[in-house]
Amino acid sequence: MQEIYNFSAGPAVMPKPVLKQIQNEMMSYRGSGQSVLEMSHRSSLFQEIIKKAEETLRALMQIPDEYDVLFLQGGASLQFTMVPLNLGIKKAGYIHTGIWAKKAIQEAEKLADLEVAVLASSAAKNFTYIPEITSVPQYLDYVHLTTNNTIEGTAFYTLPKTGDVPLVGDLSSNILSFDYDVKDFGLIYAGAQKNMGPAGMTVVIVRKDLLGKKKGLPAMIDYKLQAENDSMYNTPPTFAIYAAGLVFDWLKKQGGIKEMEQRSRQKAQLLYETLDASSLFYSSVAKKDRSLTTIPFMTGNSDLDDQFIKEAEKVGLVNLKGHRSVGGMRASLYNAFPLTGVETLTAFMQDFEQQNGGNRDV
C-alpha cells in the first residue's frame, strides 16, 4: 500500500495508532468476546467507555465542573438549530465570517420568535479576514461565532468580549488544535469528524446555568434532558464515542492541547511561508487571521489548480481539492496530520512551480 498524506477537510485523517487499536479491539473488546459495535449502550463496558471519553476530554480542555459535556448526533449542523431553540428567547447576535456561519444564521432566522442580529460581517471582502467586534449589546441572549472558518481559512485568535452575554462557539474545525479557554464560552459545539474521530458524534460543552431556559422542547433537541440522561436519552453514537475516546487518549499522550497548538503552528507556518515566497501559489487570507488547521490556496488559474491537484494525487498527496465555493486547493492540517506531510506538500509545490511558469528566481 502506497503511503499517502490525506488532506481531507472531514471526515479526516485519524491517528494511525488509534486506527490500529480499533483494529486490534474490533472482534473482542478487552477480552469480552464482543465488538464495541455489538455492545449495549447500557452495558457496564460501554458505560466505562463513555465515562472515560468524557473524563479525558475534560482533562484536555480543562472543562470546569459547571459545564456539562454531551455526546450528541446530528452533526454541527443540528447545533445551528439546537442553539437558538434552547438559548434564544428574544434576540441573538451572530458574527458572519463564512459559509458555516451563514448556515447558523439561516437556521436561527427560521425561528419565528427569535430576532437575529448580524453584529459584524466580513462578507464584503469575501470572508478573507475576521471582523473586529468592539462591543456587544447586553440584552442579547447569546452571541454566536465560528472559531475556525473551515472553508475560507480564517480563525479567531482573540475572542470578542461579550460581557454577561454567553458566547456560543462552533469549534468544529479547530477544537483541540488551539488552546481556547472554555470559560470564555457559554456553549461550545463541534462535529467529531474533523479533529476528534469518525463522523456521527457531536460534542456539546454547555454551562449548566444555560440549561432549561425554554420549556416544552422536543426531547432530542433539549440540552437539559440530554444532560440529565448523560447523553443516553436514546442510543448514543457508541462506536464514534469509543473512537473519539481513543483519540482523546492519544492527544493526552502527545502532550495535550498546548502541544497540539504548537505543532499546528509549525505545520501552518511552513505552508504559509511557502505560499508567501511563491510567485505561483497564494493565500487570500489576511495574515493575522490565517487558520492553523484549514488552509486554502490557489494559483489563480483553475486549469492549473486542477492539474496541481491531479499531479499531487499521483504522488500520494490526496484530497487537496478546495471547497467548490472558494476553488483552488485546501490543505486541512488537523491534529492527526503529520509535519512530514506538509514538508512533502511544500517540496512538491516548489517543484510544480518550477515546471509551470513560476518565476520565483527572477
Applying CB under 6 A, does 291 fall inside the site for ligand PLP?
no
- Answer for which of 50, 76, 116, 285 binds ligand PLP (CB under 6 A) is 76
Instruction: Indicate which residue of 194, 224, 267, 321 is catalytic.
Output: 194
CB 232 within 8 A of CB 213: no
Closest to 306 in 3D by CA, of 356, 271, 354: 356
Which cell numbers in the block locate residue 149?
A: 472558518
What SS3 string covers 272-336? HHHHHHCCCCECCCCHHHECCCEEEEECCCHHHHHHHHHHHHHCCEECCECCCCCCCEEEECCCC
Binding segment for ligand PLP (CB under 6 A), chosen from 105-113, 169-177, 249-257, 320-328, is 169-177
Q: Is 150 annotated as a binding residue?
A: yes
Q: Is 360 annotated as a binding residue?
A: no
Binding segment for ligand PLP (CB under 6 A), chosen from 73-81, 130-138, 203-211, 240-248, is 73-81
Q: Is 42 annotated as a binding residue?
A: yes
Applying CB under 6 A, does 170 fall inside the site for ligand PLP?
yes
Applying CB under 6 A, does 10 fall inside the site for ligand PLP?
yes
Instruction: Show Cβ contacts of residue 66 under 8 Å, excluding neighbours closer than 6 positions.
Output: 207, 208, 209
d(CA 237, CA 12): 18
Which cell numbers in the block locate residue 270?
A: 511552513
Q: Is 235 annotated as a binding residue?
A: yes
Instruction: Indicate which residue of 100, 250, 267, 289 is catalytic.
Output: 100
Q: How far is the CB of 206 from ligand PLP (least distance, A)?
A: 17
Q: Is 207 annotated as a binding residue?
A: no
Residue closest to ligand PLP (Cβ): 75
Exposure b/e, 94-128, CB count within 10 A at least 16 = b: bbbbbbbbbebbebbeeeeebebeebbbbeeeebb
Closest to 246 in 3D by CA, of 301, 187, 197, 308: 197
For 347, the enclosing helix (H) or strand (E) is helix 339-355
Residue 320: Cβ-neighbour burial (10 angstroms; 0-12, 13-18, 19+) = buried
Applying CB under 6 A, does 77 fall inside the site for ligand PLP?
yes
Distances (CA, A) of 317 to 6, 152, 235, 307: 6, 21, 38, 13
Applying CB under 6 A, does 34 fall inside the site for ligand PLP?
no
Q: Which residues in 192-221 contact ligand PLP (CB under 6 A)?
A: none
Confirm whether 303 is a catalytic residue. no
Applying CB under 6 A, does 328 fall inside the site for ligand PLP?
no
Confirm whether 194 is a catalytic residue. yes
Q: Is 240 annotated as a binding residue?
A: no
Applying CB under 6 A, does 173 fall inside the site for ligand PLP?
yes
Applying CB under 6 A, does 229 fall inside the site for ligand PLP?
no
Tell me the DSSP string of 144-165: EEESEETTTTEE-SSPPP-TTS
- Answer for which of 6, 154, 172, 283 binds ligand PLP (CB under 6 A) is 172
Applying CB under 6 A, does 75 fall inside the site for ligand PLP?
yes
Applying CB under 6 A, does 54 fall inside the site for ligand PLP?
no
> What crossing angle do the helices spanning 44-61 and 238-254 adopt, rounded to 10°?
40
Beta-strand relationship, 294-297 and 187-191: unpaired
3-class state of residue 210 by DSSP: helix
Applying CB under 6 A, does 122 fall inside the site for ligand PLP?
no
Instruction: Indicate which residue of 68, 141, 170, 249 is catalytic.
Output: 170
- Answer for which of 56, 97, 122, 150 binds ligand PLP (CB under 6 A) is 150
Q: Is 77 annotated as a binding residue?
A: yes
Q: How far is the CB of 156 from ligand PLP (least distance, A)?
A: 12
Annotated binding site for pyridoxal 5'-phosphate: 76-77, 100, 150, 170, 193, 234-235
Residues designated as active site: 100, 170, 194
Annotated binding site: 42, 76-77, 100, 150, 170, 193, 234-235
Residues near ligand PLP (CB under 6 A): 10, 75-77, 100, 146, 150, 170, 172-173, 191
Annotated binding site for L-glutamate: 42
